[in-house]
Structure 1
Amino acid sequence: MQFPRDDRDHPLAHAFRAFIRNPPFPCVGAKSALSKEQVKIVVARDITSGWDDMRIYPALLAFAARYKRAPDLFQSFAVVFEGPGDLGEEQFERHLWARAQSLADKDSWLGQPWDRRVATDPESPHFSLSFGGEAFFIVGLHPRASRPARRFEAPVLVFNLHAQFEQLRAAGRYEKLRTSILQRDEDLAGSVNPMLSRHGEMSEARQYSGRAVDDAWRCPFQGRTDAADVQ
């Protein structure tokens, strides 16, 4: 594995921060993270390849470790890929899960514990990914996304911490924040995102890529067999 490097001055990192700052962008949580300088950005080569997985994973592990030391609200880890920019929604979804599987396999091989607050089975309504013992969900963006809020000039995987949403719930702030984001997203797109649901209602895996999927969709991710699922 390679030591994490600082990609903050890469042109794609600048472009992604500008994308979040753009007033119509609906996720006020991401805007808060950016204003607090708590968005870690890694720029990788190609989402269809494992070329940079051994560089992404230690950076993600370091991010999880920093969060454990200082669990401040509104922190995100984003991987911006240089390409390709012509993936359709199903293609992007397939490569999103390939990267997630590769990173999760490395986490398992290194003996990192699965976050016991979430399930390993992607069909479970309590599912989240886990890296370095911290649960994450992914927000995918790419040039051909159907939802405007997910449409960026390059493929991106944003890893958000499950624990932060529990912090917001505990503070009584979650519903207000969620309502604001949903309204802003509807204002931008002209329609409500049909894939959004609360954790515990249905598997969040259906939301990761941003593609609208039906009830027959099955997540390709293979969960850990060495971790006990939550009930």
Structure 2
Amino acid sequence: MQLPRDDRDHTLAHAFRDFIRDPPFPCVGAKSALSKGRMKIVVARDITSGWDDMRIYPALLAFAARYKRAPDMFQSFAVVFEGPGNLGEEQFERHLWARAQSLADKDSWLGHPWDRRVADDPESPHFSLSFGGEAFFIVGLHPRASRPARRFSAPVLVFNLHAQFEALRAANRYEKLRDSIIERDTAFAGSTNPMLARHGEISEARQYSGRVVSDAWRCPFQGRNQAGETPDV
């Protein structure tokens, strides 16, 4: 694996920060992470290839370790890919899960436990990904996304910490923040996102790519299938 590098001055990193700072962009959590200097951005080569997975993974692991040492609110890890920019929604979704599977397989090989607060089965309503023992929710963005808030000039995977959602709930701040984001997203897009759901109601895997999927959709991700183990929810 390669040591994490500093991509903050890359052209795509600048462009992604400008995208989030744009007033209509609805996710106030991302805006807060950026304004507080707590958004780590890695620029990678190609979302359709594992070329940079051995560089992305240690950077993600370092991010999880930093969060454990200093669990400040509103931290995000974003991987901005140089391309390709012509992927349809189903193609983007397929490659999102290929990258997630590759990173999760590396995490398993190194012996990191799955975060016990969440399930590793993507069909479970308690599912989240887990890296370095910390659960993550992915938000995918790409040029051909149907939702304007997901439509960036290059493919992006944003990893958000599950623990932060729980901390917001414990502080009675989650519902207010969620309502604000939904209101802003509806105003931005002109319609409510039909894929929205709370953790524990239905698998969050359905929301990662931003594509509208039917009840028949099945996530391609393969969990660890740890017999007898259930999340502490």
TM-score by length of 1: 0.99
Deviations 1:80-128 (A, max 9, x none): 0000000000000000000000000000000001000000100000000
Offset of residue 145 of structure 1 = 0.1
Residue 38 of structure 1: aligned partner: 38
Name the structure 1 match of 2:230: 229
Secondary structure at the counterpart of residue 222 of structure 2: coil
Task: Please state how far the C-alpha of 1:156 moved relative to its aligned partner.
Answer: 0.1
Maintained 8 Å contact 2:121/2:223: yes
- Contact 1:13–1:41 (8 Å) recurs in 2: yes
Distance in 2, Cα, partners of 1:137 & 1:105: 17
The whole-number CA distance in structure 2 between the counterparts of 1:66 and 1:191 is 37
Asked if the contact 2:115/2:130 (under 8 Å) is kept, the reply is yes
1:140-159 alignment, distance < 5 Å: 140-159=140-159
TM-score normalised to the size of structure 2?
0.98
1:4 touches 1:58 (CA, 8 Å); kept in 2?
yes
Q: Distance in 2 between matches of 1:85 and 1:29?
A: 26
Structure 2: distance between partners of 1:189 and 1:66: 35
Whether 1:28 aligns to 2:28 is yes
Divergent runs of 4+, >6 A: none
User: What's the CA shift for 1:226?
Assistant: 3.7
Residue 110 (structure 1) aligns with: 110
Cα root mean square deviation, aligned? 0.8
SS at match of 2:136: strand
**Cα displacement string for residues 190-223 of structure 1 (whole angstroms, at most 9, x for unaligned residues):** 0000001000000000000000000000000000
Taking only the aligned residue pairs, the percentage that are identical comes to 87
Match runs of 1:156-171 below 5 Å? 156-171=156-171
CA offset at residue 30 of structure 1? Answer: 0.3
For residues 23-70 of structure 1, give each alpha carbon's deviation from its aligned partner in whole angstroms, at most 9, with x where no partner exists: 000000000000000000000000000000000000000000000000
Instruction: Give the Cα–Cα distance (whole angstroms) in 1 for the partners of residues 169 and 226 of structure 2.
Output: 29
Work out the CA distance in 2 between the residues paired with 1:8 and 1:226. 38
In structure 1, the gaps of 5 or more residues are: none
Residues matched between the structures, number? 231
* Aligned equivalent of 1:176: 176
Which residue pairs with 1:208 in the alignment?
A: 208
Answering whether residue 149 of structure 2 is matched by residue 136 of structure 1, we say no
Distance in 1 between the 2:196 and 2:22 partners? 22
Q: Secondary structure at the match of 1:79?
A: strand
Unaligned runs of 5+ in 2: none
